[in-house]
């Protein structure tokens, strides 16, 4: 049993104020393999005090000084990439091929992007006689999820460090071990004591303490919409900035002039990737009614070809869900889809054939789904795809936008100008045209109940900055 029961505060590994142990479960075996401690308000207080003290000096560092820390982090991170990938697969079940190709590299990508931005970013500019100055906002509370653990940590920590902020990280208690490796990397890189602090814990204790803490100037949260509401409510009395990256129910519009075989196949694969545990997964596939039969056949064939197995097998494409609660939620929603009359094409309730343990779910596809069904409204966060028919382009856009969420959208068309036109009509924070990949230099965030604020790139850096106007800085003309 691995022991990860210490927290990282003020540049040192320390024991919790009150020892409360939690077992970390391997989702492929349902067996515990590590132990962490759950922090409380007293631990958060210590971490915030260290960050507040460090802010006095770190906020005054130059871009060049901060860039040197980031370059050192990049160097060390690269040397531990495979260790990070293996840890992520063990703690949350991602196939090792995905962990090596995407989960672990995503964290590095955010630091590379922060380094690129720092080289040219202008924190000060003169506007007439006024100096417009961007300053670090202060101590930041960072609360991250279990589905892309290193990506979500790095996309907050990298811009916070680049901006000159200090911080307290609370990683998910479900997938906390990659956060320990990340903390070791920052320690080895020589990040000054108190600049970065890490306290494990759950949302009701450590998360709530961070959200409500009067000395935290900003809280950045990634997780469920319900969790985001709780964070925002706890933060409101102290009028701190709140950045929320929440749920999604992204529509994949396959227009009638698209390459149907390719678009459906890639749409199914994107929905099922990471066992469907991505907030931007294209979980609603919109297909012209005249092409439903053909599209459903392609989707069924693609889904049933996916290999479900243990995360450490190199050819595994679908691993287990990350935890028991998520497994049970997905099972309930699959049953709900059947109960409400959606046509079950493949998959369904229960584990895949031959699986007696592990949080494995059958890749499931429903067709002829109405957009008012529960499975079309709620974020399932599992390998479940809804195929919804539409009558024409306007109807497709209407269905796509008929959701409380607005994180991502997908548009496929053989006419690039048409795809661009439709993409602009989708009410979401980002849209992928013809399978375009994510761009780490762009912004990431949502409309409506998918959150507020933006991460990644320059937009992500600016979330950690306050804009100050110094009047009379330069002589008036």
pLDDT digit string, tens, across residues 156-193: 999 999 999 999 999 999 999 999 999 999 999 999 99
The confidence band for 297, taking pLDDT boundaries of 50, 70 and 90, is very high
Strand partners, 34: 2, 24
Q: For residue 425, is pLDDT > 70?
A: yes
Tokens of 168: 């307290």
Catalytic residues: 245, 279
Strand partners, 219: 141, 242
**Mean pLDDT, rounded, for 140-160:** 98
Sign for the pseudo-dihedral over CA of 406, 407, 412, 416: positive
| Residue that is written with structure tokens 């995360």 in the block | 311
Q: For residue 476, is pLDDT > 70?
A: no
Helix (H, G, I), strand (E, B) or coil at 262: helix
Strand segments (E) across 147-200: 166-170, 196-198
Q: Quick one: pLDDT at residue 474?
A: 82
Q: Is the pTM of this model over 0.95?
A: yes
Domains of the chain: 2-246+449-470 (3.40.605.10), 251-440 (3.40.309.10)
Whether 116 and 92 have beta carbons less than 8 Å apart is answered as no
Q: Quick one: pLDDT at residue 115?
A: 98
């Amino acid at each position: 049993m691995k022991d990860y029961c210490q927290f990282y505060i003020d540049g040192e590994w320390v024991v919790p104020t009150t020892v409360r142990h939690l077992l970390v479960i391997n989702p492929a075996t349902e067996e515990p393999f590590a132990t962490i401690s759950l922090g409380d308000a007293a631990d958060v207080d210590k971490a915030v005090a260290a960050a507040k003290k460090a802010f006095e000096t770190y906020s005054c560092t130059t871009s060049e000084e901060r860039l040197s820390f980031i370059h050192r982090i990049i160097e060390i991170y690269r040397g531990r990439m495979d260790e990070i990938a293996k840890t992520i697969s063990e703690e949350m079940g991602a196939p090792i091929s995905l962990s090596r190709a995407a989960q672990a590299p995503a964290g590095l990508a955010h630091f590379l992007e922060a380094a690129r931005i720092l080289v040219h970013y202008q924190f000060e500019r003169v506007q007439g006689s006024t100096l417009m100055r961007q300053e670090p906002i202060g101590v930041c509370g960072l609360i991250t999820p279990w589905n892309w653990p290193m990506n979500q940590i790095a996309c907050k920590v990298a811009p916070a460090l680049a901006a000159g902020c200090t911080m307290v990280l609370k990683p998910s208690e479900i997938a906390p071990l990659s956060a320990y490796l990340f903390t070791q990397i920052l320690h080895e890189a020589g990040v000054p004591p108190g600049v970065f602090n890490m306290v494990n814990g759950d949302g009701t204790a450590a998360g709530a303490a961070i959200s409500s803490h009067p000395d935290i100037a900003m809280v950045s949260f990634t997780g469920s919409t319900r969790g985001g509401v709780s964070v925002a409510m706890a933060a409101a009395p102290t009028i701190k900035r709140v950045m929320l990256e929440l749920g999604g129910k992204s529509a994949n519009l396959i227009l009638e002039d698209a390459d149907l075989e390719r678009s459906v196949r890639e749409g199914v694969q994107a929905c099922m990737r990471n066992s469907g545990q991505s907030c931007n997964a294209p979980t609603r596939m919109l297909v012209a009614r005249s092409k439903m039969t053909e599209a459903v056949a392609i989707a069924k064939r693609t889904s049933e070809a996916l290999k479900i197995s243990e995360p450490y097998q190199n050819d595994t494409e679908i691993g287990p869900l990350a935890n028991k609660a998520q497994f049970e939620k997905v099972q309930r929603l699959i049953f709900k889809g059947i109960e409400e009359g959606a046509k079950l094409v493949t998959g369904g309730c229960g584990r895949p054939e031959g699986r007696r343990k592990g949080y494995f779910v059958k890749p499931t596809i429903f067709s002829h789904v109405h957009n008012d069904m529960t499975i079309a409204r709620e974020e399932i966060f599992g390998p479940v795809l809804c195929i919804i028919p539409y009558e024409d382009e306007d109807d497709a856009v209407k269905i796509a936008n008929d959701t409380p969420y607005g994180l991502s959208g997908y548009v496929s068309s053989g006419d690039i100008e048409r795809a661009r036109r439709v993409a602009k009509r989708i009410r979401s924070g980002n849209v992928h045209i013809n399978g375009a990949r994510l761009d780490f230099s762009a912004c990431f965030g949502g409309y409506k109940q998918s959150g507020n604020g933006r991460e990644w790139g320059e937009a992500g850096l600016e979330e950690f900055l306050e804009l100050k106007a110094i009047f009379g800085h330069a002589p008036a003309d």
